[in-house]
Structure 1
Amino acid sequence: MTTAATAIRVLIADDQIMVRQGFTVLLNAEPDIEVVGQAVDGHDAVARTAELAPDVVLMDIRMPGLDGIEATRRITAPPDAAVKVLVLTTFDLDEYVYEALRAGASGFLLKDASADELAQAVRVVAAGDALLAPGITKRLIAEFSRMTGARRTPPRGRAAGLTERETEVLSLIAQGLSNAEIAERLVVAEQTVKTHVGRILVKLGLRDRTQAAVFAFETGLVRPTGY
């Protein structure tokens, strides 16, 4: 049974008290999740994260003062930052979502998600995976292509260190495939895929799968053909 010491610690940052309280009730009902605090805006989120050291921050994007994008950037900026940020948004095509992912968010979730979806999203992000469903990823690819098309540059020199198989794995990450799905596609063990993903992150100096996908889109290392 999960104990308080091993429960996923969550901070909820939203300027609406009803959202904060509602999510707190829903998440505290889960045996493996504990809401350790709430923040009313971006400045508060940064301060409370430093104070409470949560595993996951549920971050609203549109808040007064310091918005969720800049708060996310500040929270995830330290090289040793372990906290994951899960962006909350009202619309799945909110233009700010893309900027939040660039700022270091590990994924995003609609505010009308069910209690089960909310809890599972927290678990996925806490485990180090990106919360990017394939359908959402296709739209992300299209949007990144549109937003960066005019300024896309060739893949940075650091990407040259990837092997052919690692580049293939990176392409599949950018398409929204999970490790299990990548393993099935490449006909290899899932542990082998995990090893490749780890090496990709180290070689590119990235924190997680979301950053890897963003890197692939923005550098043109993975082309959005077909989306």
Structure 2
Amino acid sequence: MGVWALLAGHPRLELSATASTVAGLLEQDAALDLVLLDLRLSDGSLPHANVAELQQAGLPVLVFTGAERSSLVRLAVKAGVLGVVRKTAPSAHVVAAILDAAEGRAVMTTEWAAAVDGDPDLPDAGLSERQLEVLALYASGEKAERVARLTGLSAHTVNDYLGRIRAKYASVGRSARTKTELYQRAVEDGLLPGPEHPGP
């Protein structure tokens, strides 16, 4: 069921704005109490970056998602969302979750628990937002020159970032010397989906 149909006629809920990207939503300057965030947006942005941008705007976030991989859910949970609710959940459950989140209460679901419990106990390399963006693109198979074009950075800067990323991982005992190892670190940290658990 779509969000419009779900909220239509509900006495305590109103859908004020919709957008395919976070930037598009914020440009509308709508009065919002809560953002229902899909993990896969049309611009290919990462969940933790979207959550951070919405929180900076003072907007709490509830993830409203389909059958995404656990790595994406884990990224959102790490970023501090109020909860995770499936689009396939019963309508009454979704409405209750929205009402709770709108009042600032955490929405504890099995998806939330699975994301937390499944988080590997690995030391944080402390990568910056920009470094995470470069790592996600490069580790997904892009060449440095292509990463530079996609991010608006110079190829020299991208290579400098990759060197810093490798050094940060090495400093916490997580080798990232090769592109394969960088891919493994990106999967471990939830930036990329792993190949061993194909989606439904």
Q: Which TM-score applies when normalising by structure 2?
A: 0.54
Consecutive unaligned residues in structure 2, runs of 5 or more: 126-200
Tell me: CA distance 1:43–1:31, structure 2 relative to 1, closer, same or farther (3 Å).
same
Q: Could you tell me the percent identity over the aligned residues?
A: 22
The answer for the alignment partner of 1:74 in structure 2 is 53
Give 1:114's aligned residue. 90
In the other structure, the counterpart of 2:137 is none
Please point out which of 22, 29, 47 is paired with 1:42.
22
1:32 and 2:12 aligned: yes
The alpha carbon displacement at 1:31 in A equals: 0.6
Q: Find out whether 1:60 has 2:38 as its counterpart.
A: yes
Change (3 A) 1:68 1:84: farther
**Given the superposition, is the C-alpha separation of residues 24 and 98 from structure 1 closer, same or farther in structure 2, using an over 3 Å criterion?**
same
Aligned to 2:88, the other structure's residue is in SS state: coil
Map of 1:143 onto structure 2: 118
Contact 2:39 2:63 in 1 (8 A): yes
After TM superposition, give the deviation of residue 88 of structure 1 in Å: 1.8
User: Could you say which structure has the higher strand fraction?
Assistant: 1
Aligned CA-pair RMSD: 2.4
| Moved >6 Å (runs of 4+) | none
User: What is the CA distance between 1:68 and its match in structure 2?
Assistant: 6.0
**Partner secondary structure for residue 18 of structure 2:** strand
**Cα displacement (A) at 1:152:** 6.2
Change in 2 beyond 3 A, CA 1:46/1:72: farther
Which TM-score applies when normalising by structure 1? 0.48
Structure 1 unaligned blocks of 5 or more: 1-18, 154-227
Compared with structure 1, are the counterparts of its residues 56 and 23 closer, same or farther at alpha carbon in structure 2 (3 Å cutoff)?
same
Describe the shift of the 1:94–1:46 C-alpha distance in structure 2 as closer, same or farther (beyond 3 A): farther
Higher relative contact order (CA 8 A, sep 6+): 2
Question: What amino acid is the match of 2:78?
Answer: R
Alignment length (residue pairs): 124
- Deviation string, structure 1 residues 201-223 (Cα, Å, up to 9, x no partner): xxxxxxxxxxxxxxxxxxxxxxx
Looking at structure 1, the residues matched to 20 and 68 of structure 2 have their Cα atoms a distance apart, in angstroms, of 22
The alignment partner of 1:36 has SS state of: coil
SS at match of 1:150: coil
